[in-house]
Amino acid sequence: MPNIYIILDESGDLGFSQGSSEYFVMAAIVAKEEDIKKIRRIPKKARQKLGKKKRDIPELKASKSSDKIRRFIINQLFKCPTVYLSAVYIDKKNTYKYVRNNPSKKAYHYNWITKVLIVDSLKRYLQVIGYSPKSSLNVYLYLDKYHTTRFRKENLNVYLENMITSEIPWANVIVFQKDSQGESLIQVSDFVANAFYKKLSSNVDFLENFFRRGRILKFKGLY
């Protein structure tokens, strides 16, 4: 029975004020269970690259890290052979007016973006690994509790489970909403989301190895 992990994070924001980001990016790490321990060890390895004063910071954040650390983390992730990456993004100047003008629509918008990313990424990953349809499948979904709290839909876990099982009925879905400070998987996913954002906004490419080897499941603008 395959155990598939999908670890989400995002870069940018869904705001439209003067200081808001140009893009909103949601990204995912998709991997088999055999690589999860290796991924969890990546932040610890990255800390060893920092000076003594910074090694004890409670959480590694891509936005506060040097390009050297960003590249190191992505390259360590590339060494995990079952890892594939995926992202969708929004160029906010193209955002529909009903979303711009109605803040209450943002939660529904966020949920739609999440659905597109998770379902498409999972389907493509199952094709990559040669998964036999309708055989047993466990999907472990990790999300940063900070983001899901801000855009929370009632009974979010049930919503996400139904979102996947409506497309893959034989999947057993387990959702974890974790504090990124205590979950190294989400810390690594933060660097992935940041890397996709950098590729969009400044053409800085930390992901070249993943692209070159065909280990990007999806990188698409939704509008």
pLDDT given at position 71: 96
With contact defined as beta carbons under 8 Å apart, do 168 and 137 qualify?
Answer: yes
pLDDT given at position 53: 58
pLDDT given at position 182: 83
For domain 3-221, give the CATH number: 3.30.420.10
pLDDT given at position 122: 96
Q: Residue 41's closest CA among 76, 69, 82, 10? A: 76
- Output the pTM of the full model: 0.91
Give percent above pLDDT 70 in the chain.
87
Measured on CA atoms in the order 28, 29, 30, 36, is the torsion positive or negative?
Answer: negative
Q: In the chain, what are the helix, strand and coil shares in percent, each to the nearest 5?
A: 45, 20, 30
pLDDT given at position 68: 92
**How many angstroms separate the CA atoms of 149 and 94, rounded?**
26
- Non-local (6+) Cβ contacts of 112 within 8 A are none
- Ranges of the chain whose pLDDT falls below 50: none
Q: pLDDT tens digits for 44-55?
A: 899 888 766 566
* Region of residue 133 (phi > 0: left; psi between -120 and 50: alpha; otherwise: beta): beta
